[in-house]
Structure 1
């Protein structure tokens, strides 16, 4: 009976771990969400940032949770580097203010 429970526990752990590694967490950040990020750019390709005033207005229009998630993602060395212009502007605003 103990062997059966141990085996079932190991299988449950393997399935849980496998689902996380296989796509339970897609690895995308809040900075990769066009619906949230589009208002910070002047073009559909999200290459040209809006002016500082327009950026601040778009930043303040976000929910507190979205600003927190974006600030956290900017703090990640890999994610932040791929969104360096955006993250630099959020740092100019002091993060969430």
Structure 2
């Protein structure tokens, strides 16, 4: 009986911990956040990027830590692939200039 209760307790704890860890990382990118990304696009669906000059102005208007975070995300192959043109433009700007 004690062994059964210990086993059930351990299983419950494992399930709770697994759920908490799964909730902690949603797997979404800042590059999918319309609030951050809308200044770079002409449309609400974020499909058409603004001109290079407008893109650069929006990039420079961001906080340095936000630019660094986006550059880091663009370094991730899967994220960069799904945001190809955007990441290419940020790399052209060198992250800050």
| Shorter-chain TM-score above 0.5 | yes
Q: Secondary structure at the match of 2:28?
A: coil
Per the normalisation by structure 2, the TM-score is 0.81
Aligned length: 94
Uncovered stretches (5+) of structure 2, i.e. residues with no partner: 1-8
Determine the C-alpha separation between the residues in 1 that align with 2:18 and 2:95. Answer: 34
- Which residue of structure 2 lines up, in the alignment, with residue 34 of structure 1? 34
After superposition, the CA RMSD in angstroms is 2.3
Determine the C-alpha separation between the residues in 2 that align with 1:10 and 1:60. Answer: 50
Q: Which runs of 4+ in 1 moved over 6 A?
A: 8-11
The structure with the largest alpha-carbon Rg is 2
- TM superposition shift of 1:45: 1.0
Give deviations 1:45-64, integer Å, cap 9, x for gaps. 11111111100000011111
- TM superposition shift of 1:76: 0.3
- Which residue of structure 2 lines up, in the alignment, with residue 66 of structure 1? 66
Per the normalisation by structure 1, the TM-score is 0.81
Uncovered stretches (5+) of structure 1, i.e. residues with no partner: 1-7
